[in-house]
Amino acid sequence: MRVAVLGAGYAGLTLARKLEQTLPDSVSLVVVDEQAEHLVQHELHRVVRRPSLAEEITVDLDAVLDCEIRQATVTDVDPDAGTATLDGSETLSYDVGAVCLGARTAFYGLPGVREHATPLKRLADAREIREGFLNLDDGDRVVVGGAGLSGIQVAGELAEMREDSDIEVLLLEQEDAVAPSFPASFQSAVHDALVGVGVTVQTGTGVAEADADSLTLDDGSELAMDQFVWTGGIEGSLALDADRPVVRADLRLGESTFAVGDAAKVVDSDGEAVPASASAAIREARVAADNIATLVDHRRGNSGEFQPRLTQYQFDVPGWLVSVGDDAVAKVGPSILTGRAALALKTTVGAGYLGTVGAVENAVDLVRDELDLDEEEPEGE
C-alpha cells in the first residue's frame, strides 16, 4: 500500500512527518515536491533586507524526512482515481493521498501586473525585490499591491531599508482596511505600526492595470511608480486547474484523497471558512494525518466499519502575528501586543515550528539572528 503526499510546504511537511510516526511499516510513504528544500514562507520577507537568513529558513527535505522523496512537479491530480501526473508524463498511483500543493500568486488577469510586478513566493523573488529596491534613488516610489500579511511584511522591510533616503513605500489595499480578513483590533494596530515605520497606507484603492512606470487605479487615476511588488491574492495550483476546491471538515477531496492547507478552501466543522495561513495549514495537516491513518487501517482490513469515521477539523488558533519592519503586532486572545513582546513571540513561534519539523539547528540560528544574539568567542588562556 502506498500513501502519497503531494507538496512539502507547511501542510505537506507536517503531514509527512506525522505519517512517518503513525503508518505501519508495510505502508510506503512518498513525498513529491518541486524543490529539494522546504521554505519557511512566513519568514521570506526577512530575506529582502537580510539575505543571510535564506539559509535559516530553508530546510533540506532529506534531512527531516525518512521516506521516499521525489523532486518533481505535480501537473495533474485525479483525486477519485488516486493518481497524480508528475512532470507532465509520469503517473504516480497511490492508495491514499493528500494534495498539499499550496497556492500561487493570483494576478486576476489585470493587464500588465504579472509582467511588471514581482510577487513574494520564492527566495528568488525576495532577492529580486531587494535588488530592485537598492537601485532606487531619492524621491522614487515603490508600490506594494495588497495589504494581506505578506504585503504588510514586505512593506515594513522596505521601509526599514531606506535608511536616510526619501524613497516612498506605498502600500495599496483594495479593501477598506489593511489585513482585511482579520479582526478590527488587529487591523488598527497593524495600520499604526505601518505608519510608525514610515509606510504610506492607501486603502479602498484597487489596481486596474500596470505598465513599466505607472499604475492605473480602479478610479481611472494614474500613479507613478519605480518598483512594483504584488501580493494581491492567491489561486490554486495548476495541477488543480488554478482552482482551490472547497473541502469540508474531514478535508476529503476524493474517495481516498485529502486536500490540506492553501491548496483548498477549507470549511471547518462549524461551517466557517478557514483563512489561508500557515497556522491553519499545520493544524489541518494533523487532522489529515489522523484521517489517512484511519483509511489505511480500514483498507488493510483492521476495521469492521463499512465507512470509517473521520476526524473533523475545527478552526482554532490562539492568535495572529505579523512583522512590520523592526516592530511586530500580535493578537493573543483579546489582547494586542506590539514591540519587543510581539517580536519575541513571533521569533518563538518561528523557531518552534522549525523545531517541530526537525530543523533544530535552523531554529537556534533563527532565534540568534532575530534577537541579535551573537556567539561570544572563548577567551584565550
CATH number at residue 219: 3.50.50.60
The domain boundary, picked from 296, 317, 338, lies at 317
269 and 220 in one domain? no
Residue 15, domain extent: 2-34+72-104+234-317
111 and 98 in one domain? no
With beta carbons less than 8 A apart as the criterion, state whether 85 and 76 touch. yes
Q: Which amino acid is it at 72?
A: A
With beta carbons less than 8 A apart as the criterion, state whether 43 and 53 touch. yes
The predicted pLDDT at position 234 comes to 95
The predicted pLDDT at position 316 comes to 86
119 and 11 in one domain? no
201 and 284 in one domain? no
Is 45 contained in some domain?
no
222 and 136 in one domain? yes
The domain boundary, picked from 286, 317, 348, lies at 317
The predicted pLDDT at position 379 comes to 36
The predicted pLDDT at position 353 comes to 76
Q: What is the C-alpha to C-alpha distance for residues 209 and 349, in angstroms, rounded to an integer?
A: 38
Sign of the torsion formed by the C-alpha atoms of 35, 243, 103 and 67: negative
The predicted pLDDT at position 6 comes to 98
The predicted pLDDT at position 380 comes to 35
Task: Report the chain (381 residues): mean pLDDT per 10 consecutive residues.
Answer: 97 96 96 95 93 90 96 97 96 97 96 98 97 97 97 98 95 97 94 97 97 97 98 96 97 95 96 91 96 92 71 90 94 91 80 71 60 40 31
215 and 109 in one domain? yes
Is 285 contained in some domain?
yes
138 and 98 in one domain? no
CA dihedral in degrees (102, 103, 104, 109; nearest 10)?
160
What's the whole-model pTM score?
Answer: 0.90
Please give the C-alpha separations between residue 51 and each of 57, 292, 371, in angstroms, as whole numbers.
11, 38, 16
Residue listed under C-alpha cell 509520469: 90
205 and 121 in one domain? yes
Please give the C-alpha separations between residue 72 and each of 31, 77, 339, in angstroms, as whole numbers.
10, 13, 42
Is 359 contained in some domain?
no
The domain boundary, picked from 230, 265, 295, lies at 230
The predicted pLDDT at position 375 comes to 39
The residue among 182, 197, 220 whose CA lies nearest residue 144 is 197
222 and 263 in one domain? no
Sign of the torsion formed by the C-alpha atoms of 365, 369, 371 and 374: positive
115 and 98 in one domain? no
171 and 142 in one domain? yes
What's the domain count of the chain? 2
- Chain-centroid distance of CA 123 in Å reads 13
Is 289 contained in some domain?
yes
134 and 203 in one domain? yes
The predicted pLDDT at position 366 comes to 59
Is 341 contained in some domain?
no
The predicted pLDDT at position 70 comes to 98
Is 325 contained in some domain?
no
Residue listed under C-alpha cell 507532465: 88
Helix crossing, 339-356 with 360-370: angle to 10°?
A: 170
Is 52 contained in some domain?
no
Is 328 contained in some domain?
no
